[in-house]
Copies of this chain bind each other. A is one copy, B any other.
Amino acid sequence: MNLDAAGYETLPVSDGIVAERILKDMEGQEIALALVDVMLPGKDGFELMEDFQRADIPVIYLTAKDDVASKVYGLTSGAEDYIVKPFEVLELLVRMEKVLQRTGRSREKIQIRDVVIDLKQHSVVKGGVQVPLKPLEYELLVTLAGSKNVAFSREELLNRIWGTDYMGETRTVDVHIGQLRKKLDFHDVIRTISKKGYRLEDLD
């Protein structure tokens, strides 16, 4: 449910055997990433690794905590990452994005009105012309545009872009938001949520 809400297309499967069958006769379906619970009825997560590798799908394992043996085994057996339950949704999303990026499966472009963000080129084009953005402005835009219509508090933005250890003013965010609005004419696209933060609005 959380992944759907975050804008991913999901295909939930709760049985190892079923998963295997889906992987076998996958008709041209592109699967970008597999989140695999180690404990799974039918056929467990580790046994499925072979199938995922054949299908060229990167794997992130999920497991109950304090199972160090599984963790080590999981990573050496070819998984891209490993996350221990219970986990924060945000952490999962961050790790997923990292894996997608590392394996070249991440979205390459994001469009908002007449603005196109090319993640591969690391460039932003508005109405056909390049808009030069500073590093932080770019990061901020990608964060907001990567989760359209989601409200971010200043603290969340600071955590995601500046890093969890940042200790400065939350008003700093405002300055960069101001720059983005001016450079992209996003005065109405980036909506201020009083007392909270900002939201980038777009109907797709």
Count of residues in A whose CB is under 8 Å from the partner chain: 36
Hey, which chain B residues are within 8 Å of A22, CB to CB?
none
Please judge, given known A-B contacts A135-B194, A135-B196, A194-B134, whether A103 and B120 are in contact too, CB under 8 Å.
no
Q: In whole angstroms, what is the CA distance A14 to B58 when docked?
A: 19
Please judge, given known A-B contacts A5-B108, A53-B64, A88-B104, whether A195 and B120 are in contact too, CB under 8 Å.
no
- Chain A contact residues: over half helix, strand or loop, or mixed? loop
Hey, which chain B residues are within 8 Å of A53, CB to CB?
64
Which residue in B5, B27, B121, B193 is a CB contact (below 8 Å) of A149? B121
Taking each of A14, A104, A193, which has the highest tally of chain B beta carbons within 10 Å of its own beta carbon?
A104
Hey, which chain B residues are within 8 Å of A86, CB to CB?
56, 58, 103-104
Which residue in B12, B56, B193 is a CB contact (below 8 Å) of A122? B193
Q: In whole angstroms, what is the CA distance A56 to B30 when docked?
A: 29
Stoichiometry, copies per complex: 2
Interface: A163 (CB within 8 A): no
The residue on B at minimum CB distance from A121 is: B149
Interface: A28 (CB within 8 A): yes
Which residues of A line the B interface, CB within 8 A?
A: 1-2, 5, 12, 14, 27-28, 30, 39, 53-54, 56, 58, 64, 85-89, 103-104, 108, 120-123, 134-135, 149-151, 193-196, 199
Q: Can you report 23 A-B residue pairs in the complex whose CB atoms are below 8 A from each other?
A: A1-B30, A1-B108, A2-B104, A5-B108, A12-B28, A14-B27, A56-B64, A56-B86, A58-B86, A88-B104, A89-B104, A120-B150, A121-B149, A121-B150, A122-B151, A122-B193, A122-B196, A122-B199, A134-B194, A135-B193, A135-B194, A135-B195, A135-B196
